[in-house]
A = this chain, B = another copy of it.
Amino acid sequence: MSYEARPGMRVEELDTPALIVDLDILERNISQMADFFAERRAALRPHIKTHKTPAIAHMQLKAGAIGITCAKVGEAEIIAEAGIRDILIANQVVGQVKIDRLTDLARHADVMVAVDDARNVTDLSQAASAKGVIVRTLIEIDIGMNRCGVPAGEPALELARCVASSPGLRLAGLMGYEGHLVLVSDYEERRREVWAALKPLTDTADLLRRHGLSVDIVSGGGTGTYDITGSCPTMTEVQAGSYVFMDTTYRAVRPEFDVSLALLTTVISRPQPAYIVTDAGLKALSKEFGLPKLANIPGADVRYLSEEHGVIDLAEPGAVDLRPGDKVSLVPSHCCTTVNLHDKLYAVRKDIVEGIWPIAARGKCQ
């Protein structure tokens, strides 16, 4: 006898904690985002850090995405193995082992990487030219997040010249991520601030072009800013990712996408009428953006998550008929870090399991 789940099962039969995606909502989110970009100059290159699942990357490409964005070489390796060629690693790739992996991957995929340091450019160039591969390169510009990236203007121009003259590398353009603005709650304020943040990116693109450097790609954006950044005439690519699943945090700023992701849990204890305890804690749900919410039980609030327990208070205990063995769905506050805790994603339509997808890039933080 096997305990493994299989397509055709009803969702209530799944062992828990089980990460569930509602296929109707997932497909709607993917096509809705594709529709937006179908009418824009900018294209969608979705970030797969959210789902880490090749099956979903292929759905995004089929809907019109021009390629895939990753955060890590390990994610890019998984995506390339899944047959996808056009891959941006929207991050610095630093260190000998990482650069070896990146340049080996460049034999089998058309990889693109971000840089913000001249020595790193030299290292990448040496490895790429030694192997006879070409690595497309974006200059990352810090547009206000105070994370990675060179300053706009002259420093970016200087690094771009360095890339342009480095064998094995091809200057592909610029990248700037307005990650500090993706959750600004007031939409008009978000729009104003994003446009202000993109201005130095636009100016730097112009500066590079005036100096005869090619800037085919200007990449940025996330789910919180996709329409703002995606409407900016400078931008050629948007890296949104979370829109496929959504969560309680993104839902607050992006009501046009529904939440397709849920964690199915089992009530393991109801020691008192006023609360239940489920089998999902911090090892199955992240909480850096807040505690998860209950999808279908009014007046129920997660009190806390310990490592393997979720304690849920019931405002109206008499109205809630739940006992050990019953199942309860939770909506994560942050889809990306929650997905990274799971090996499998159960793809469900109208309560029937249609697919069990390996979250193949789970844990690929190297």
- Beta-carbon nearest neighbor of A309 in chain B: B147
Q: In which size bucket is the chain A interface?
A: 35 or more
A337 at the interface (CB under 8 A from B): yes
Contacts of A270 in B (CB 8 A): 117
Nearest-Cβ distance from residue A275 to partner chain B, whole angstroms: 8
Contacts of A98 in B (CB 8 A): 15, 266
- Beta-carbon nearest neighbor of A263 in chain B: B365
Pick the contact of A268: B91, B266, B311, B337 (CB < 8 A).
B91
Contacts of A269 in B (CB 8 A): 92, 94, 116-117, 147-149
Docked CA distance A340–B119 (Å): 34
A8 at the interface (CB under 8 A from B): no
Say yes or no: A282 contacts B119, CB within 8 Å: no
Chain A 49-74 against B: per-residue CB contact (8 Å), 1 yes, 0 no? 10000000000000000000001100
A273 at the interface (CB under 8 A from B): no
Docked CA distance A306–B142 (Å): 15
Say yes or no: B15 contacts A271, CB within 8 Å: no
Say yes or no: A341 contacts B325, CB within 8 Å: no
Pick the contact of A94: B94, B95, B267 (CB < 8 A).
B267
Say yes or no: A149 contacts B271, CB within 8 Å: yes
Contacts of A179 in B (CB 8 A): 306
Say yes or no: B100 contacts A3, CB within 8 Å: yes
Nearest-Cβ distance from residue A124 to partner chain B, whole angstroms: 11
Nearest-Cβ distance from residue A16 to partner chain B, whole angstroms: 7
Docked CA distance A15–B94 (Å): 10
Chain A 96-121 against B: per-residue CB contact (8 Å), 1 yes, 0 no? 01101100000000000000110110
Q: Say which one of A168-176, A283-291, A293-301 lies at the interface with B.
A: A283-291
A307 at the interface (CB under 8 A from B): yes
A154 at the interface (CB under 8 A from B): no
Docked CA distance A55–B52 (Å): 29
A280 at the interface (CB under 8 A from B): yes
A165 at the interface (CB under 8 A from B): no
Contacts of A288 in B (CB 8 A): 282, 287-288
Chain A 345-360 against B: per-residue CB contact (8 Å), 1 yes, 0 no? 0000000000000000
- Beta-carbon nearest neighbor of A179 in chain B: B306
Docked CA distance A198–B309 (Å): 22
Contacts of A340 in B (CB 8 A): 283, 341
Say yes or no: A365 contacts B149, CB within 8 Å: no
- Beta-carbon nearest neighbor of A5 in chain B: B97
A178 at the interface (CB under 8 A from B): no
Chain A 310-340 against B: per-residue CB contact (8 Å), 1 yes, 0 no? 0100000000000111000000000011001
A251 at the interface (CB under 8 A from B): no
